[in-house]
Every structure is written in structure tokens, then in C-alpha cells.
Amino acid sequence: MRIASWNVNSLAVRLPHVLTWLETHQPDVLCLQETKLADDKFPCIECTAAGYQALFCGQKTYNGVAILSKRPALDMVCALPAFEDPQKRLIAATVDGVRVVCVYVPNGQSVDSEKYRYKLAWLTACGAWLQAELERYPKLAVAGDYNIAPEERDVHDPKAWEGQVLFSAPERAAFQGLLALGLKDSFRLFEQPPASFTWWDYRMNAFRRKMGLRIDHILLSAPAAAACRASTIDIEPRRAERPSDHAPIYVDLEI
């Protein structure tokens, strides 16, 4: 079973990229973030034609998440139950016995902002909810844009980024808190190339200059991690015309 995740930064703009990528890589599940689409605008017909059903939880202009799957996705949840929030950042469903959680963690903007405090509060609420999900669903994957680089090797210039949003100590501690629930960072289950990143700023030719961060992750419960055979970043779509600023990532599970 191949489970993928991609922050597309507007599905309206990136739909051709997504359809091409589905055709090439044939994931069983694709988690999307930053669809930026109200639910009545979601491209269901195009997804069906590509062989995928879609569950989505969106809003106009900002945020928005979706789960595309070849097989039926059941028991959808579309928000953190105990966290009142108008922003559409989480959707979960079960596909072939695997609980798939798609997250778009708040960016945080800057460490002194209200948005940063919201990011940390959101992560606390998400962790508490995931703890209960892990008890209900042994095979669980949490895929998405975490907006956190966990370690120095996940940042092109850790000294420059130290203390900045996406790499500050409280954010990294929150990420470690998710791992402490028993989740594994799938990417680090395997030897990986140095300077492996998933996001490059559109500005300053960051992609060409390899100035990236690894902020998109697929975390796995212990039984899912035990079945994981590979965890991959596909940077090819970042080279395309009008790319998303994020690369798609995926895991291959022997399930």
C-alpha cells in the first residue's frame, strides 16, 4: 500500500500536476493540503476519472485538506473534536484497515505572533486526539505538512534558521511529543540522501540553490512502521512549470 502526501498550494492551479503524479506513481492514498477550495468547487469528476474517490474538507482562499483513495475511505473525521477552529486543517478516514490522518499544521508566521501560539495550541490538541486514535487504530499514518523541521539535518542552514518559525525549539519539542506517542518518522526508518528537503521558498531562487527544509512528514504507528519498506521524497514536481512550493512524499507499506 502506497500512501502519499502533497501540499499543492491551490488544487485549482495544481490539478494537472496532481493528475499527472497520480498516473505516474499510482498511490493507493493521496493526502492533499492547502487545496484552498470550498467543498462545492472540489474537482470530484476529474478525481473519479483518474480512478480515485475523494473526501475533502475545505474553505475558500486558505487551508483545506483532502484524502484521495482508490478504495473506499470510511469513518471520516473532519476536525479535531475538542478544538474549536474555523480553519480546515485535518481530515481522517480508514482505507483497507489503515487509519489515514491528513494534517495541515498551522505555519505560525513568526515566533512572536499570535499565529505561532495558535500553531502550538493546535499541535497540543492534535497530539491529544492522536493518542486516542492510536488506541482505536493499530495501523495508523499521519501524513501532511507539519510546518516543522525536526532536526538540524532537515534544514539547509540550521544556524540561520535556529529560533525561527518552522525550526524553533518549542515547535521541535511539539514534534518530538508526537513521536513520544509511539509514532515513527517514516523517513528516518531508512538511509536517506543528505540535504533531503520537501519545501523550498518561491523567493530568492531557493529551490535552484537547494535552500530547503524537510517540513512534510508521514508518521507511522509501530505496526505500520514495521510494515514500511520505503519512505521517499519526489522532488521532480518541484521542477515543473508553476510548481507547488512543496514536493510530494510517500511511503510503501507491505499491507
Partner DNA sequence: ATGGTAGAAACTCTA
250 is catalytic: no
Residues 215 and 247 sit within 8 Å (Cβ to Cβ): no
User: In the set 204, 226, 230, 240, which binds DNA (CB under 7 A)?
Assistant: 204
Of 53 and 164, which CB lies nearer to DNA in the complex structure? Answer: 164
Q: How far is CA 50 from CA 13, 22, 46, 54, 187, in A?
A: 17, 8, 6, 11, 28
Q: Which of 28, 52, 145, 146 is catalytic?
A: 145
Of 28 and 171, which CB lies nearer to DNA in the complex structure? Answer: 171
Q: Which of residues 29-48 bind DNA (CB under 7 A)?
A: 36
CA 101: distance to chain centroid? Answer: 9
User: In the set 25, 62, 181, 235, which binds DNA (CB under 7 A)?
Assistant: 62
* Grid cell locating 188: 528516518
Residues 33 and 5 sit within 8 Å (Cβ to Cβ): yes
For residue 86, the minimal CB distance to DNA (Å) is: 12
Instruction: Name residue 213's beta-bridge partners.
Output: 155, 199
* Grid cell locating 71: 478504495
Q: Which of residues 126-145 bind DNA (CB under 7 A)?
A: none
60 part of the interface to DNA, by CB under 7 A: yes
Of 1 and 126, which CB lies nearer to DNA in the complex structure? Answer: 126
Residues 10 and 35 sit within 8 Å (Cβ to Cβ): yes
User: In the set 10, 53, 164, 192, which binds DNA (CB under 7 A)?
Assistant: 10
Q: How far is CA 137 from CA 39, 125, 173, in A?
A: 27, 18, 25
Residues 121 and 177 sit within 8 Å (Cβ to Cβ): no
For residue 60, the minimal CB distance to DNA (Å) is: 4
Q: Which of 104, 116, 137, 146 is catalytic?
A: 104
104 is catalytic: yes
159 part of the interface to DNA, by CB under 7 A: no
Residues 27 and 54 sit within 8 Å (Cβ to Cβ): no
Q: How far is CA 10 from CA 87, 97, 107, 243, in A?
A: 15, 30, 16, 10
Of 147 and 186, which CB lies nearer to DNA in the complex structure? Answer: 147
Of 107 and 192, which CB lies nearer to DNA in the complex structure? Answer: 107
Footprint of DNA (CB under 7 A): 9-10, 12-13, 36, 60-63, 106-107, 109, 115, 147, 202-204, 242
Please identify every residue annotated as catalytic: 104, 145
